[in-house]
A and B are shown apart, each in its own frame.
Chain A
Amino acid sequence: AQSVTQLGSHVSVSEGALVLLRCNYSSSVPPYLFWYVQYPNQGLQLLLKYTSAATLVKGINGFEAEFKKSETSFHLTKPSAHMSDAAEYFCAVRYNNNDMRFGAGTRLTVKP
């Protein structure tokens, strides 16, 4: 079965440090890939998406993600964490029109 795996349910970084959130998916065919962010008591908002135009994708709020086909990965990074980045982040993969799979989520904590 198709699956999306996010390594680490909780990640804690200091303000100003690098943020790295990991996502791996199961597929031999590059699907559409997304990262969403969820702030407390809110719905999910799109951070960025992979559309096959470029392997390095830039999103909002300084986040970016790199698609690596050989590793079936789509890790999310941000060079310098800000307190406002504290939220839950979800990796999602669209395998076909009807099937958008989500990872279990990674809660990011940013320490002052």
Chain B
Amino acid sequence: NAGVTQTPKFRILKIGQSMTLQCTQDMNHNYMYWYRQDPGMGLKLIYYSVGAGITDKGEVPNGYNVSRSTTEDFPLRLELAAPSQTSVYFCASTAVYRGNTGELFFGEGSRLTVL
């Protein structure tokens, strides 16, 4: 049972480069999220999606873009990478419906370094 799968696990980028972090889930969850985790800061929400074709900004969306063409996939694109984007990125998903607590299921993370 795969759950939430993220690729790549590690990546080093040069300033100004672009890349896409891939995320796919096989649980038929309607909601998907991208978080970044920085030491001592917990997790900050970058973008989320409530279903295919619908995305919205979270707390820290600047410098990122997302798309959701299918229920399963929710890629995160970094345009013009900056050192401030050095972080660990987590994709998560959940099923949101009446009476469900909506706990998140997380991928294993993607560690990105921008030099």
User: Which A residues form the contact surface with B (CB < 8 A)?
Assistant: 4, 9, 32, 34, 36, 41-46, 49, 51, 90, 92, 94, 97-100, 102-105
User: Which B residues form the contact surface with A (CB < 8 A)?
Assistant: 4, 31, 33, 35, 40-43, 45, 48, 50, 56, 90, 92, 96, 101-104, 106-109
Closest to A45 in B: B106
A-B contact pairs, 12 of them (CB 8 A): A4-B42, A45-B106, A46-B104, A49-B101, A49-B103, A51-B101, A97-B50, A98-B48, A98-B56, A100-B102, A100-B104, A103-B42
**Contact partners of A43 in chain B: CB under 8 A:** 4, 90, 106-109
Whether the Cβ atoms of A104 and B33 lie closer than 8 Å is no
Q: Contacting B101 at CB < 8 Å: which of A4, A32, A41, A104?
A: A32
Closest to A34 in B: B103
